[in-house]
């Protein structure tokens, strides 16, 4: 029984994309927590030792090899010194009890370009005041914003087919229009123009009745992928909270053209949510046409997400 479970686990992890999403989005739910399936290995090993089953121990080599092939690269430090520009992104949290302190911490981060999402309109002024000295250029489009030490141009909202509502997750009686949660702008760097997208996709929630609810997020991801596909600039950075891990199949159209700074130049998995005990990375920095040199998480703020940063070069 233990040997069979070990073999099943070893086949299950590489075949995750074959798990259908038709019922409760089970496939996406599995992919969200895919790295954690490695925890079944020590459990099965303990059972194998308890039962004194040599066959089970040998069978466990399969899931170990599979897990290492999928995620072993995350265990080493892939960062390099240098880089031309530091970018950062943070879901500051609409319920953040200390936006002033969060703005102060972010201003001290040293990032050249800083993206903020889930900006409560009532506290946007707090962030504008707290970041003004460090960042002379900024734009806020709906509940997402970008602060920069370098000039911005061609700024515009990006239609990601968001539901209406104060933060885009639900319709309300007095708010009938989509509330913007994505933008695109051009940052004038010394190396040339850099297209920067900031996005906050819809929430993904586990519902006992409906399973893994991702309808809004999946629609947003497809619309964002279309916007990125139409981008004319060859150097592009995407910053924001995608409300999903990049193992989730819904992001395939995005990851087909962009790479994760954490995967290329990070150290570890870089989990960002929830901040007190991060178990998934849903806050991302993805790039195309530039090279990530290092990627890391910043210290916790008053938000339930950790900020993320990356150093990129041309």
pLDDT digits (tens, 9 = 90+) for 139-188: 999 999 999 999 999 999 999 988 755 555 544 333 433 479 999 999 99
What's the token pair of residue 89? 């992104």
* Higher pLDDT among residues 236 and 162, named by residue: 236
Residue 34 pLDDT level (bands cut at 50, 70, 90) = very high
Query: What is the predicted pLDDT for the residue at 170?
Result: 44
Domain membership of residue 157 (yes or no) is yes
| pLDDT above 70 (res 9) | yes
Query: What is the predicted pLDDT for the residue at 208?
Result: 67
* CATH number for 256: 3.60.10.10
Neighbouring C-beta atoms of residue 178, cutoff 10 Å: 17
* Mean pLDDT score, 269-277: 96
What lies within 8 Å, CB to CB, of 241 at 6+ separation is 89, 91, 117, 118, 199, 200, 201, 282, 283, 284, 305
What whole-number percentage of the chain has pLDDT above 90? 86
Please tell me whether residues 40 and 117 are part of one structural domain.
no
Query: What is the predicted pLDDT for the residue at 168?
Result: 52
Please tell me whether residues 109 and 62 are part of one structural domain.
no
Domain membership of residue 80 (yes or no) is no
Residue 310 pLDDT level (bands cut at 50, 70, 90) = very high
Boundary-marking domain end, from 45, 75, 105: 75
| pLDDT above 60 (res 82) | yes
* Angle at CA of residue 144, ends 260 and 98, nearest 5°: 100
Please tell me whether residues 131 and 15 are part of one structural domain.
no
Looking at every residue in the chain, the average pLDDT score rounds to: 93
* Mean pLDDT score, 91-118: 97
151, 137 in Cβ contact below 8 A?
yes
* Mean pLDDT score, 216-231: 97
> Is 0.95 surpassed by the pTM of this model?
no
- Domains: count for the chain: 2
Boundary-marking domain end, from 51, 75, 99: 75
Query: What is the predicted pLDDT for the residue at 278?
Result: 97
* Mean pLDDT score, 41-67: 93
Please tell me whether residues 38 and 124 are part of one structural domain.
no
Please tell me whether residues 62 and 125 are part of one structural domain.
no
Domain membership of residue 186 (yes or no) is yes
Residue 37 to residue 127: CA distance in whole angstroms: 39
Pairing of strands 308-313, 152-157: unpaired
What whole-number percentage of the chain has pLDDT above 70? 94
Domain membership of residue 279 (yes or no) is yes
Query: What is the predicted pLDDT for the residue at 209?
Result: 66
Query: What is the predicted pLDDT for the residue at 206?
Result: 83
Query: What is the predicted pLDDT for the residue at 174?
Result: 35
* Mean pLDDT score, 68-80: 94
Residue 308 belongs to domain spanning = 85-313
Residue 71 pLDDT level (bands cut at 50, 70, 90) = very high
* Mean pLDDT score, 36-47: 94
Please tell me whether residues 98 and 156 are part of one structural domain.
yes
Instruction: Give backbone dihedrals phi and psi of 164, rounded to 5 degrees, phi first.
Output: -80, 160
* Mean pLDDT score, 65-87: 95
| DSSP type of residue 180 | P
Residue 211 pLDDT level (bands cut at 50, 70, 90) = confident
Please tell me whether residues 43 and 90 are part of one structural domain.
no
Pairing of strands 308-313, 236-241: unpaired
What lies within 8 Å, CB to CB, of 148 at 6+ separation is 112, 113, 114, 135, 137, 138, 187
């Amino acid at each position: 029984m233990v040997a069979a479970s070990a073999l099943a686990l070893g086949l299950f992890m590489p075949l995750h994309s074959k798990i259908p999403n038709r019922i409760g989005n089970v496939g996406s739910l599995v992919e969200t927590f895919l790295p954690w399936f490695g925890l079944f290995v020590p459990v099965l090993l303990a059972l194998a030792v308890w039962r004194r089953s040599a066959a089970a121990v040998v069978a466990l080599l399969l899931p170990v090899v599979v897990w290492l092939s999928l995620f072993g690269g995350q265990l080493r430090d892939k960062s390099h010194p240098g880089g031309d520009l530091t970018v950062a992104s943070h879901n500051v949290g609409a319920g953040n009890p200390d936006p002033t302190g969060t703005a102060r911490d972010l201003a001290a981060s040293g990032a050249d370009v800083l993206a903020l999402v889930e900006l409560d309109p009532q506290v946007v002024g707090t962030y504008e005041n707290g970041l003004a000295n460090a960042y002379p250029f900024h734009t806020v489009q709906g509940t997402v914003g970008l602060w920069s030490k370098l000039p911005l141009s061609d700024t515009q909202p990006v239609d990601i087919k968001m539901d209406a509502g104060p933060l885009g997750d639900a319709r309300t009686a007095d708010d009938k229009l989509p509330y913007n949660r994505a933008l695109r702008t051009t940052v004038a760097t010394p190396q040339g123009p850099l297209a920067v997208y900031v996005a906050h996709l819809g929430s993904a929630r586990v519902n006992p009745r409906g399973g893994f609810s991702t309808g809004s997020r999946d629609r947003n991801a497809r619309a964002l992928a279309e916007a990125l596909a139409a981008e004319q600039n060859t150097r592009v950075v995407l910053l924001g909270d995608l409300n999903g891990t990049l193992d989730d199949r819904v992001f395939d159209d995005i990851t087909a053209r962009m790479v994760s700074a954490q995967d290329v130049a990070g150290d570890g998995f870089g989990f960002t949510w929830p901040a007190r005990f991060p178990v998934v990375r849903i806050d991302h920095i993805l790039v195309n046409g530039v090279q990530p040199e290092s990627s890391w998480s910043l210290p916790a703020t008053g938000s339930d997400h950790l900020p993320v940063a990356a150093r990129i070069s041309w």
